[in-house]
Chain A
Amino acid sequence: MTGFFERLFGTGGNKGSGAAARERLQFILVHDRINLPPEQLQAMKAEILAVISRYVSVNSEQVDIALQQRDRDSLLVAEIPFTKAIDTDEARQRMADPEKTDNNMDDA
């Protein structure tokens, strides 16, 4: 009966396929606009994380790096919780030996 009145008076909830259309479009357009394939985006995120992990201790499960839109501009928004700076000796060693750093990055 509620459905009858909703149809009669043109009211009703907003949980139909319109919301799905909106969500799908937002996702599609983020990728259309930057023209970066999802695998490359993943690779970029992994590299960013690898660089940050050289300096601070990061739990990769809590990391959120995502593309967002502001007006017609694309933004890379990252939330990367970290606990502490990683072992200082190791970090210093890396600073002193950039070669090794590059190799590490390739491994990542």
Chain B
Amino acid sequence: MTAKAGARVVTITSGKGGVGKTTTTANLGIALARLGKKVVVMDADIGLRNLDIVMGLENRIVYDLVDVIEGRCQLRQAMIKHKQFPELYLIPAAQTRDKTAISPSDMVSITDKLRPEFDFIIIDCPAGIERGFRNAIAAADEVLIVTNPEVSAVRDADRIIGLLEANNKGPGKLILNRMKGDMVKKGEMLSPDDVTDILSIKLIGIVPEDENVIPASNSGVPVALNENSKAGIAFRNIARRLCGEEVPLMPVQDTSGGFLQRLSRLFGGN
């Protein structure tokens, strides 16, 4: 891929649904903004808009991505400024349309317009390998594949990696989400090494299972803003790695909570 000037376009994809693409997109957007980067997060899941909710911006939507493409508004009018970070913007998906309302070349032209003004454009890809996926990767300079340490999610990630390679967008880097260190230790979960061995791609981050994630989504305040959340730290570390910083991966045992947490789990049932 020849690098275009300006922002880097990073697409977050997975194949399988429900593994944490939208959560990852929202948190990387926030974490990059915290690092002082100018960021646009874009929801490419036309018809199943969700990124706005995870980011707590659903009440501010007037125009969406399809309105821009069909000329009903200017690009700027569809960009929603984040409450806390004035240089973080969301471009929401349309809720009442479907994937065919946009084309891969539309995505290229929109990102090309944004590139000069931003450092990062993060695209939330829909689940699946059809049109929505092709739209979401069309403009990508790099692709991050989110997976969970489960057979079906890893299988879908492998299919996505194959498709990325076939489209000269591969192999991408892996985010292993919802890792449970205590289960890995008991041998009841694929380890990060298992997954990277099987997929043969580089890991850019391991995000531990964290009970803060659902409350964060409930309230529209992503965990990357929570100083004490392990998942929040993991997402902030991924953002730093995206910026070229060398940040060591969190050891997997640290993803299962500390000794006291295990002690309480032991006596408190669970």
Q: Name, among A8, A18, A33, the residue most crowded by chain B CB atoms within 10 Å (CB to CB).
A: A18
A-B pairs under 8 A by CB, number: 69
A1-49: which have CB < 8 Å to B?
4, 7-19, 21-22, 24-26, 28-29, 32-33
A16 touches B186 (CB 8 A): yes
* Residues in A neighbouring B171, C-beta threshold 8 A: 72
* Residues in B neighbouring A11, C-beta threshold 8 A: 185
B200 touches A71 (CB 8 A): yes
**Any chain A CB within 8 A of the CB of B117?**
no
B187 touches A10 (CB 8 A): no
Count, chain B residues at interface, CB 8 A: 31
Count, chain A residues at interface, CB 8 A: 26
B124-170: which have CB < 8 Å to A?
150-151, 154-155, 158-159, 161-162, 165
B178-194: which have CB < 8 Å to A?
181-191, 194
Q: State the CA gap A18–B253 with chains docked (Å).
A: 16
Given contacts A12-B187, A15-B187, contact A25 B182 (CB under 8 A): no
Q: State the CA gap A76–B188 with chains docked (Å).
A: 31
Please name 19 pairs of A and B residues whose Cβ atoms are closer than 8 Å in the assembled complex, sorted by A. Answer: A7-B262, A7-B266, A9-B259, A10-B181, A10-B185, A10-B253, A16-B187, A16-B188, A17-B188, A18-B184, A18-B187, A18-B189, A19-B187, A21-B189, A21-B190, A22-B194, A22-B198, A25-B154, A72-B201
Question: Which residues does A use to contact B, with CB under 8 Å?
Answer: 4, 7-19, 21-22, 24-26, 28-29, 32-33, 69, 71-72
